[in-house]
Structure 1
Amino acid sequence: MATVAPIKVDAETDRLISHAAHFLGTNKKAIVDEAVREYIDAHRDEINQAVLVALKQIDGTKASMVSVLTGLSREELDELGGVPEA
């Protein structure tokens, strides 16, 4: 069974999703699911490039992984107390 994770959208987007679901005879979940999949397919090359850039920044240390995940530089991490490697 798939895990359900709620998402939040603004009121206008929710209205658009509701109208599309109504007139297409489906539910809001199906509209959002298909829209996200189409968006990802349309931007797959950009996503893959961003993944490659992130992977090149990881040098095997925990600090490099935390840096990529948080967007903080190694220097900023050190200012905050660093990242223990042990």
Structure 2
Amino acid sequence: MAIVSPIKVDATTDKMVADAAHFLGRSKKDIVDAAVRDYVEAHRGEINDGIRAALARLDGTRASVVAEISGLSEAELSELGGVPER
């Protein structure tokens, strides 16, 4: 069974999706699914570059993981009390 996650788009985008779905005889879900898959495939190189850059910032510590996830620098984390390694 697929997990369904709602997404929010602006009214203009929703209208475009609805129109495409109507005139192609497909569901809105199918249109969004195809569009996202095409977009990700078209930008695969950029996505992979971002993944490699994120992995390069990880140094095996919990602080580096929390910094990557939170967007805070390790210095900012230290100012907030740090991240225990155990």
Give the TM-score band, short-chain normalised.
over 0.9
Give the Cα separation in 1 of the matches to 2:15 and 2:27: 13
Aligned to 1:46: 46
> Gaps (5+ residues) in structure 2?
none
Query: TM-score, normalization: structure 2?
Result: 0.96
Deviation track 1:34-86 (CA, whole Å, cap 9, x = no partner) reads 00000000000000000000001001101101111111100111112211111
The 4+ residue runs of structure 1 with deviation greater than 2 A are none
Aligned amino acid, residue 18 of structure 1: A
Query: Number of residue pairs matched?
Result: 86
What's the % identity of the aligned pairs?
60
Q: RMSD in angstroms over aligned alpha carbons?
A: 0.7
> Gaps (5+ residues) in structure 1?
none
